Amino acid sequence: MSEADKKGKERFLSYTEAEKEAVELMLKKSPDIVLMGQGINDENAMFGVTDGLYKKYGTDRIFDTPLAETGLTGIAIGLAMSGYKVLYMHNRPDFLYLAMDQIINHAAKYSYMSGGQVNIPLVVWAVTGQGWGSAAQHSQSIHGIMMQVPGLKIVMPTTPADAKGLLKTAMDDKSPVLFLEHRRLFGQEQVVPEGEYGIPFGKGVLRREGTDVTVIAISAMVIDAIEASERLQEEGISTEVIDLRTVKPYDRELLITSVSKTKRVVIADTSWITGSVAKEISEFIYRELFEILEKRIEIVALPDVPTPAAYVLEDIYYQNADSIYYAVKRLMEDKE
C-alpha cells in the first residue's frame, strides 16, 4: 500500500511538485502564457518547478534568458501589455534590484497612468536563500522594500497547497505580482488538492488556534511559529499562529479578530526589522487596537546588517523558533 493510501488516500505533493502542477495546469488552459527566466530550462529548472516543461510546451513559450535583468524585465512588461500572461522567474530576489526601474516605474504604474486601459498581467517569481552560506547578495528578502510601491501585489505562501492556489490566482491577476518564496519551504510535503483552484489575495489563515498570544508570521517563519507554539503549549501557554500568505494586501480583519482575543502580539518576519512588513503591521495594530493591548508588540526579524556567509554567523543572524519562543515568553512574564 502506498503512503497516500495509508493516509486516507489523500494526495501528498512536495512544495516543488505543487507549484509545477499549478504552472502546468495554466499552460494547458491558456496558450497565451509565457514563462521566462535565467536557467529556466537547465537541469536545476528553478528548484525543479519548471523541470521538463519546455520539452512539452516548446521554447516559444518557455525560454531561457540572458543575464540582463533590466532589459528582460522590460521585455516581460511589453509581452504583458501585448496580451500575454507572463511568469518571469528569477533564482533570487537580489537580482530584482537590477530591474527596480522597470518594476516600480513601469509595471506598477502603467494601469494607473493609462486610466485602466492597459493591464500588466506579470508575475515576478523569486526564491530567498538561507542556511547554505548564501551571504549578502543571494539571500535578501525584499518584500519590505517593495511593499511601499503602489500597484504591486506581494505573495508569500508557506504550504504546498497554498503555493499552488496562490500561484494560480497570481497568474490570473491583471496586475503585476511579486511571488516570493523561501528556500526552506521546498522540503515540505503535504496534502494538495487535485485540479485547478485559486486562493484569494488578502486572506490569511489560522495555522493554530490559541488564547494567550497571537503570532503573526510570514513565509518560513510560520514553520518556526508552529514549532515554538508546540513548545509553549507544554508550558501552558496557548499561542495563536496566523499565516498571512499575502503581505500586500494583508488580512486586516483576521488580525483584528485574533488580537482582540489574545491582546498580545508577536510578529515574525523574514526580512530586516527597519522599514519591514512587521513594522507596517505593528503600526496597524497599534492604531486600531492600542487600548486593548496588554503588552507592547514583539517583533522577530533580521538585524540591520548584511547577511553573513559563515555558518556560525548565520546561526546568530537568522531568527528561528527559539526567537519566537522567547518573544512570547517576554509577553507572558506578568502571567507567570
Using an 8 Å Cβ cutoff, are 269 and 301 in contact? yes
Task: Report the distance separating Cα 211 and Cα 213, nearest Å.
Answer: 6
Q: Exactly one of 90, 106, 138, 182 is catalytic; which is it? A: 138
Residue with cell 529556466: 40
Q: What order of strands is seen across the sheet that includes strand 213-217?
A: 205-208, 239-243, 213-217, 265-272, 298-302
Q: Which three cell numbers stand for residue 77?
A: 512588461
Using an 8 Å Cβ cutoff, are 216 and 244 in contact? yes
CA atoms within 13 Å, Cβ hemisphere of 265: 28
b/e map of 246-275 (b: 16 or more CB within 10 Å)?
bbbebbeebbeebbeebbbbbbbbbbbbee
Residue 90 bears catalytic tag = no
Scanning 195-334, the segments in alpha helix (DSSP H) are 221-233, 252-262, 277-289, 311-317, 321-331
Give the torsion through C-alpha atoms of 163, 11, 24, 94, to 10 deg. 30
Residues with a known catalytic role:
138
